[in-house]
Amino acid sequence: MSKFKDKDFSGQSVKLDGNCYEDCKFSNATLTYAGGVPPELIRCDCSGASIGFVGSAQNTGLFLRAMSQDPALSGFVRRLFS
């Protein structure tokens, strides 16, 4: 795990997986998560940033969205996030 403290990533593309970011700035950055070790974001400024999910993270998101649209499974998805 790489650790970043007080870094400015504004306007950059940043791969989040497995990293720790503390007091960092991501203004107008493009953040990407691929489904690996979840990142730590501690007191970071993400104003104007966007996040994209790729690989396993994207597949999981698509699966959860499909489940949430099925009346028999939507309750299960809601319980995951409560």
Q: Provide the 10 A C-beta neighbour count for residue 82.
A: 4
- The pTM for the full model equals 0.84
pLDDT digits (tens, 9 = 90+) for 26-67: 999 999 999 999 999 999 999 999 999 999 999 999 999 999
Domain count, the chain: 1
Q: Any idea what the Cα angle at residue 38 is, between residues 23 and 54, rounded to 5°? A: 110
CA–CA separation, 22 and 36 (whole Å): 19
SS3 28: coil
Give the domain range for residue 70: 3-80
pLDDT band at 1, cuts 50/70/90?
A: confident
